Amino acid sequence: MPQRALARTGLNVIVSASTRIATDQRIAEEAAQWLIDLEDGAADTSAFVGWLQASPRHVEEFLLISAVWRATDRIDEAHAIEIDRLVAQARDNVKRLDDEVFATSRTLEVRHRMQTLLRSRLSLAVALLAIVCAAWLGVRDDVHTYRTAVGEQRVVKLADGSIVTLNTRSQVNVRMEKRQRSIELVHGEALFDVAHDAERPFRVLAGPALVQAIGTQFNVRTSESGTTVSVVEGIVEVASRAEHSDRAGGAVPNFGAPERLIAGEQARLSAQGEVIHHAPADIDRVVAWRERRLIFRNEPLAAIAAEFNRYNATQLLIEGAATSARRVTGVFDADNPGALVAFLQSDPQLTVETRANEVVIRGP
């Protein structure tokens, strides 16, 4: 069998053995197909570059497949190995590893598989497959997750010296790579104080927004209605994110033209990724949460109650459209919703009912 055919057969086995879930399988298959297309001169290079840029996982999988391709091309140059028979043996010995196996017995499983393959006197290609699978398993745990509970705040110092301050009910996934620093704000709010590193851009993905820092300090908050980015110091660039389908039908992010924000400015993006507001911001008010203060200036009571509810187990419920729209100005302790309740009780037009873990506020 020609060496290229051996390599392609090895790729198919690699794809079969190195996938846990449908998404990983799709990425592995796409990486193998791109490598074959590139080798045959049939690839659209622009589309290939776009595929690589869509996710660090694409780059990781392509590099792995490329390494296996090069290695198998050097196996059995004298054609002394009966490839067809050994590949058939390999398929019989390769079993799919599900999520539970990966999570609970990864090291022992890889070691057992390698011993089984060697005892069965499989080809060097199959032994290489086991080694590559072990290496592939070892590079997956490179994302660090930090989260906070209700009312909790947390300060995290990253490996590059940057500081992330998490507000209540928030989560970030941090991935430090050689060429970039990638942070995903899964939900909630965080203040980023970025350490300068010209060689590694600092990027935050938050809902529909991609924020790139240029040596700066900025606040990002997500909600059901969208994402708000406020710059405390320095400069950031904000790009909206949309998604399109790739060749396999999967979702691939597509970012629009970046919009630059300077210190003291704020941008709000809708849940669909459209920039709906870009204007000066009251930065002291934006970051007052670090001191557990909530500052409201002529804001609807419904929005104020929702803000208190982020920090406390006792939930404030506002009943009635007119009551929800009532405007309030004040400065409160985030951990003391009772202060707001006492303030509202002084209004003869409002009634307050206290339940187990709820306070219901009604208007006339």
List, in sequence order, every residue forming a beta bridge with 328; answer none if it has no partner.
299
The pair of structure tokens assigned to 96 is 């799919």
**Please, which residues bridge with residue 330 across strands?**
296
**Residues 178, 200: contact at Cβ < 8 Å?**
yes
| Beta partners for residue 187, in sequence order | 171
Percent of the chain with pLDDT over 70: 69
> Are 274 and 296 in the same domain?
no
Round to whole Å and give the CA distance between 9 and 41. 19
Say what the pLDDT of residue 288 is: 96
Cα 254 from Cα 84, distance rounded (Å):
43
Do 250 and 327 have their domain in common? no
Residue 2 has pLDDT above 70, yes or no: no
311-334 pLDDT, tens per residue? 999 999 999 999 999 999 999 999
pLDDT value of residue 277? 82
Rounded Cα gap, residues 126 and 134, in angstroms = 13
Q: Are residues 183 and 306 in the same domain?
A: no
Residue 158, classed as helix, strand or coil, is: coil
CA 247 to chain centre: 22
User: Within the chain, where are the H helices?
Assistant: 3-17, 22-40, 45-54, 56-73, 83-93, 99-104, 106-119, 124-138, 283-286, 301-311, 321-325, 337-345
> Within this chain, do residues 107 and 217 fall inside the same structural domain, yes or no?
no
> How many domains, the chain?
3
At residue 141, the pLDDT reads 46
Give the domain-ending residue among 216, 251, 285: 285
213 and 202 in contact (C-beta within 8 Å)?
yes
Same structural domain, 155 and 270: yes
- Residues facing 167 on adjacent strands: none
Strands 251-255 and 259-262: unpaired
The pLDDT tens digits for 210-230 are: 999 977 899 999 998 899 999
With cut-offs at 50, 70 and 90, classify the pLDDT of residue 274. Answer: confident
Specify the CATH number for the domain of residue 308: 3.55.50.30
246 lies in the same domain as 303: no
Residue 52 in this model has a pLDDT that exceeds 70: yes
Nearest CA to 289 out of 184, 187, 169, 173 is that of: 169
pLDDT class of 77 with cuts at 50, 70, 90: low
CATH for 169: 2.60.120.1440
Q: How confident is the model at residue 43 (pLDDT cuts 50, 70, 90)?
A: confident
Same domain, 206 and 161: yes
Identity (one letter) of the amino acid at 201? P
Q: For residue 93, what pLDDT band results from cuts at 50, 70 and 90?
A: low
> Which of 86, 109, 138 is the C-terminal boundary of a domain?
138
Given this model, what pLDDT does residue 44 score?
A: 78
Whether pLDDT at 97 is above 90: no
Looking at the fold, whether 230 and 322 belong to one and the same domain comes out as no
Which amino acid is it at 350? L
Model confidence at 155: pLDDT above 80: yes
> How far, in Å, CA of 37 to CA of 138, rounded?
28
Structural contact between residues 99 and 20, judged by C-beta atoms closer than 8 angstroms: yes
Residues 305 and 261 in one domain: no
Residue 28: band (very low, low, confident or very high) from pLDDT cuts 50, 70, 90: confident
Q: Is the dihedral of CA 13, 19, 25, 30 positive or negative?
A: negative
pLDDT number for residue 85 = 60
pLDDT band at 242 (very low <50, low <70, confident <90, very high): low
For residue 236, give its domain range. 144-285
Residues 161, 276: one domain? yes
